[in-house]
Structure 1
Amino acid sequence: MEQTVLGNIKSQPEVLPQVFANRDVFVEPFRREIAEQGIKKIIFFGSGTSYNVSQIAAFYMKQLAGIAAEAQYPTVFKNYEQADWTGSIAPEHTLFVGISQSGTSVSTCEVMEYGQKIGCRTLVITGDLESRITQFANVTTHLLVGPELTPPETKGYTVSVLSVYLWALAVAHDRGKLSAEDYQAAFDEAEAFVGDFQSVIDEGEAWYDRNKGSILQSDRLFILGYGVDYGSMLEAMLKVGEMLRIPTIGYELEEFSHGPTMGLRPNQTIFMIGSDEAEYERMLVFRDAYKKYTPRVHVVSMRDIPDADERDLVFSHRVSKYLAPLAYTVPFQFVAAKGAKDIFIDTGVNPFQEPLAHYADDEK
């Protein structure tokens, strides 16, 4: 059967439990690398969706596992950054992690090759164990996403987020940052959530269906996120931009109030991802202010929203802020894919034909 973006989106309730059940395939090699090589710093690399996952992965490693971590754009890092500007961490104690579903991203392959040349450890997670990126890895782990042949990645994102979350839990437990009891609670929460992911799909699609009229008639879309969901915002912006193709701009929550608000118009839509972080109450203040300029203000959250209405989406299955990113991009996947279908865009066709971002299959 021919794959479609909507088909991949709706397959996530089947795919994610399979990934969870087979977690040892990718968790154990990562866990061993951190422990056996004395890793003191992790730098995550990726482009597009993989960069957005890198942002969340770095957040997990710092906040949950207490290990220095950062996300970098591969080309920017290779040309302008260093693995450790202080000189206090030896290269062999720095781990470059390349995230690439296809394993053919030009920039990510190049930065992993660079990491090997400067003496850093390298680990990749990819859906293709024979892809080009594996040539530059001390350790290769399998992204258990299965085939995703349509150009925009959807299930690949959630599979990647779940994978790096399970990485972080394992390292946090090994490093004593999570007690056995807290580790088990987080583990059980993740298992229950992926087992009930159909509710996320159903609620995300229903939210799109009841709001599509105003969303599709907007001349600009803004997506705001904060904390761990800065990465969720980036992915939502990417998905909507590449499929729906209405001008879509993402901002960190607070930064949006520093200038871009001067351009707000009633036919513009604002989406706010309401993660359970310190900025939640601040987000509610912003929401009330923005509604004075446009009625098209939507909050997507795991928390109860005062004066919530049909424009808002509060998922019924509540989870911690660390696990919530699995759900938060789903409604935007529907905005992107169903929205494109509703305005007669074929998301299975990439109109940009120049091979700039990826190696061809014969260049593996």
Structure 2
Amino acid sequence: METMLDYINEEQETLETIINSFDITQIKVKNVKHCLILATGSSYNACLSAKYYIEQTAPVYVQIEEPFNFLHYGKIDPSIDLIIAVSQSGKSASTIQAVQKLTQTRKIKTIALTSNTSSPISQVVDEVLDLNMGIETVGFVTKGYLATVLNLMLLGLRIAYQSESIDQSTVKNELLALKKAISQINLVIEKTSEFWLENQADLSKGVRFITIGYGPNIGTAKEFETKFTETVRLPSQGFELEAYMHGPYLEANNTHSLFFIENDNVLNDRSKALKNYLRNDVGNCYTITTEAKTDSKTVGLSIKTPEKISPLLLVIPFQYLAYQIATGKGIDLNKRIFDDFDQVLKSKI
């Protein structure tokens, strides 16, 4: 039986396969200006992580909505000319229902991103983009999360090129930057493993986990929240940097383990200032950064990568730590719980 860690260790090879088989003309997205993305859970977090790459690469505005609430309360902007439905399993009931409702009164191009091209979601859209990572049988998605982020970034590259806002030379440079980042994934896992061994005792005793990020890594912070909640099963939250400073910091105490996501950006200084302020008031402050390691509480990747690509790398330490902390606390992640949940609540088709 494959484990969550097995899939984490397959991430570099999987993403290399995806990018090496990339076809710029696959999926017709010429002249898309306003894109609505529907996604829930880890798929939603992946969309947040890819949004900045898409908007910085292509002349497009990206709106991300959770489909259940949008289905019942949302109002679609008349300028939307593309709907992307993201569901790794392809069985998310709310996403499928939202696509059906939104296309009843107006013809809008629809695309599904899924790892199962014969799943129910494929029956309600115009085109299907295979995530090209196989079926992930472990419920706590990791490989599929990164595959979703990368495929969304590549879709942004398609929009830019097909809309003639970038040329072949720019496409080549973007692909080289993505490939360089992907080639570092195994190194990130190795460095996180070393960090885990140094901090295992404190992390295993943790009872409240918080991660703080900014820019494209707000998605990373939210995926931390999802993954730790699913696996470690203790209070865990991901915050945008400034949002944490407007109230949530008042909760800080010596039982809290704080993670700061940092990369080469002017906001890095503000993140460090917050970390220095809270250092003596919380249990531990950890840093996940693209910069070099400075101390034992830092996962220092020492990688130069554009900020818009950094979510492909900075989420991996949280995936790895979620697995190790949960396992260290005696949680058997291969043992299913709430086994009848989807059947009773009808969240999946």
Q: 2:189 aligns with which of 195, 198, 201?
A: 201
CA distance in 2, matches of 1:29, 1:252: 34
Q: Deviations over 1:232-281 (max 9, x none)?
A: 11111111110011210111111111222222112211011113334211
| Cα displacement (A) at 1:317 | 3.0
Q: 1:338 aligns with which of 324, 330, 344?
A: 324
CA distance in 2, matches of 1:275, 1:195: 18
After TM superposition, the structure 1 = structure 2 runs for residues 293-304 of structure 1, keeping only pairs within 5 Å, are 293-304=281-292
Query: Does 1:142 pair with 2:98?
Result: no
Residues 208 and 331 of structure 1 are in contact (CA less than 8 Å); yes or no, is this contact kept in structure 2?
A: no
**Aligned residue type for 2:302:** S
Gap regions ≥5 residues in structure 2: none
Q: 2:311 aligns with which of 307, 325, 344?
A: 325
Q: Which residue of 1 aligns with 2:348?
A: 359
Q: Which residue of 1 aligns with 2:280?
A: 292
TM-score, scaled relative to structure 1: 0.89
Query: Does 1:59 pair with 2:52?
Result: yes
Q: Which residue of 2 aligns with 1:108?
A: 95
Q: Which residue of 1 aligns with 2:301?
A: 315
Q: Which residue of 2 aligns with 1:273?
A: 261
Query: Does 1:81 pair with 2:69?
Result: no
Gap regions ≥5 residues in structure 1: none
Q: 2:63 aligns with which of 60, 70, 79?
A: 70
Q: Which residue of 1 aligns with 2:147?
A: 159
Q: Deviations over 1:81-118 (max 9, x none)?
A: 2221xx4x2xxx52110111110011111111122213
CA distance in 2, matches of 1:14, 1:302: 21
Q: Deviations over 1:115-153 (max 9, x none)?
A: 221322211011111100011101111111112101110
Q: Deviations over 1:165-208 (max 9, x none)?
A: 11222322344544544432221121222233211211122222
**RMSD across aligned positions (CA):** 1.8
Query: Does 1:29 pair with 2:29?
Result: no
Question: What is the number of equivalent residue pairs in this alignment?
Answer: 345
User: What is the SS of the residue equivalent to 1:44?
Assistant: strand
Q: Which residue of 1 aligns with 2:105?
A: 118
CA distance in 2, matches of 1:176, 1:301: 34
Mean Cα displacement is larger for which, 265-274 or 206-215?
Answer: 206-215
Residues 60 and 322 of structure 1 are in contact (CA less than 8 Å); yes or no, is this contact kept in structure 2?
A: yes
| Cα displacement (A) at 1:72 | 0.5
TM-score, scaled relative to structure 2: 0.93
CA distance in 2, matches of 1:358, 1:23: 32
Residues 74 and 107 of structure 1 are in contact (CA less than 8 Å); yes or no, is this contact kept in structure 2?
A: yes
CA distance in 1, matches of 2:143, 2:207: 28
| Cα displacement (A) at 1:225 | 1.2
Q: Which residue of 2 aligns with 1:41?
A: 34
| Cα displacement (A) at 1:159 | 0.9
CA distance in 1, matches of 2:191, 2:286: 14
CA distance in 1, matches of 2:167, 2:205: 50
User: What is the SS of the residue equivalent to 1:124?
Assistant: strand
CA distance in 2, matches of 1:328, 1:149: 23
CA distance in 2, matches of 1:250, 1:227: 13
CA distance in 1, matches of 2:280, 2:164: 48
Q: Deviations over 1:60-95 (max 9, x none)?
A: 2222212111110001212222221xx4x2xxx521
Q: 1:238 aligns with which of 226, 233, 236?
A: 226
CA distance in 2, matches of 1:212, 1:241: 19
Structure 2 CA distance for partners of 1:277 and 1:174, relative to 1, 3 Å: farther
Mean Cα displacement is larger for which, 148-157 or 107-116?
Answer: 107-116
User: Identity over the aligned pairs, expressed in percent?
Assistant: 23
Mean Cα displacement is larger for which, 178-187 or 293-302?
Answer: 178-187
